[in-house]
Structure 1
Amino acid sequence: MSVQQKEECHRKVTAHIVKRLHPFSEVESPTFRDMVKTLNPKYTPPSRDYLSNTLIPSWYKVEKANVITELSEVSAVALTCDGWSSITQDHYLTITAHYIAEGKMQQKVLKTKAVYKAQTGCVVAEEISDVLSEFGISDKIVAVTVDNAANMDVAIKHM
């Protein structure tokens, strides 16, 4: 199996795991490995460690660059910002961009990030601003939708 063929198989396995929201451990399950071996005896799927530490970060880097390029070509972006807590009470912020590209409405989750600081409006404003800068859209925001949390209203007013 050539290096290119192996890399293509790795990309397809990565896409399968990510897009279908399978756990990373799927690549090490006996049934998955048996299926892959049946389909191509010369291919060995990646380990969970290689998938999570190499393949997915590489894919993310390419996809992020594609989103940044696409966003550079639009003039107006609307945002949805949502702060939420996990079942273990860890705090997260998700920022989604909505825009029109090639005549079609698009939406991309720019980032879901853990927020370890106090959930004040100023902190949330800083977190949102950092993501907007990272994607090069700070000056393109025309509307923002937030949940009914007071700190989100303060964050948007602060920005």
Structure 2
Amino acid sequence: MAKDLRPFSVVDNSGFRRLVNTLEPKYAIPSRPYFSRTVLPALYQETKAKVTQSLKEAECISITTDGWTSRATQSYITVTAHVMTSEWEIKSFVLQTRPLFTSHTGLNIAEVLKSAVLEWGLDNNQGIAVVTDNARNMDVAVREAGLSPHIKCFAHTLNLASKAGLNVNRASRLLGRVRRVAAFFHRSSTATAVLATKQGMLNLPAHKLIMDVVTRWNSS
């Protein structure tokens, strides 16, 4: 009996069942199919009902959407709704994340958007603002889905403008020199140690040189 009273994290499945059977012989442990077929679907329907009610009560609804790829190289489209309550509280609901087995064309993405609008009863709203990135396929998708107005993500616009500015010859050449210096210290442990020593001699904070990332202009 003492052996079976080890922490659950180190008790195997059969040991756990013996322990429960000893404590309460009449208790039947729910199976995995019970949770996957009964508990989780019921929880989903309960949550969906609450979200649907919140969307019905909202005067204005906006949605954001984007495509992304998992580590297993599977493509998905996520649709999120945003509403403001009568108390001026912003609420966001991830309505769905659907796999996209076809190419990311505007027409295919439009079908996903139209499906989400119908499933969540948003088709009765007059005008649903949609926020996306600046990709051309998103332009086509929002237009084909009949949603309006279409608002381009400001952060993405800023990113594109900044990258264009950094590609100017003078800025690009300067960044190239800085990258070579930073790369040298990243490759050499000896140089890194000398850099740390010199900073200490000059009473400077101990910093390492950072390498910028092409997709994050603020790192440059």
* TM-score when normalising by structure 2: 0.51
State which structure, 1 or 2, has the greater radius of gyration over its C-alpha atoms. 2
Structure 1: gaps spanning 5 or more residues: 1-27
What is the CA distance between 1:95 and its match in structure 2? 0.5
Give the aligned partner of residue 122 of structure 2. 137
Could you say which residue in structure 2 is the equivalent of 1:154? 140
* Percentage of matched positions with identical amino acids: 37
Structure 2: unaligned runs, 5 residues or longer: 1-11, 146-220
Counterpart in 2 of 1:12?
Answer: none
**Mapped pair 1:110 → 2:95:** yes
Q: What is the RMSD of the two structures over their aligned residues, measured on CA atoms?
A: 3.0
CA separation of 1:49/1:99 partners in 2, compared to 1, >3 Å: closer, same or farther?
Answer: same
Query: Cα deviations across residues 27-80 of structure 1 (Å, max 9, x unaligned)?
Result: x9689989999xx99755532222122211111011111111111111211111
Please list every run of at least 4 consecutive aligned residues from structure 1 whose deviation after the TM superposition is greater than 3 angstroms.
28-37, 40-45
Aligned positions of 1:6-155 closer than 5 A: 44-103=28-87, 104-140=89-125, 141-155=127-141
TM-score (norm 1): 0.68
- Bigger relative contact order (CA 8 A; separation at least 6): 1
Separation (CA, whole Å) in 1 of partners of 2:80 and 2:36: 23
More displaced stretch, 58-67 vs 149-158: 149-158
Partner Cα separation in structure 1 for residue 66 and residue 16 of structure 2: 36
Q: Distance in 2 between matches of 1:79 and 1:132?
A: 10
Shift in alpha-carbon separation, 1:73–1:116, aligned structure 2, 3 A: same
More strand by share: 1
Q: Secondary structure at the residue paired with 2:102?
A: coil
Moved more, 49-58 or 133-142: 133-142
Residue 120 and residue 36 in structure 1: after superposition, are their counterparts in 2 closer, same or farther (change >3 A)?
farther
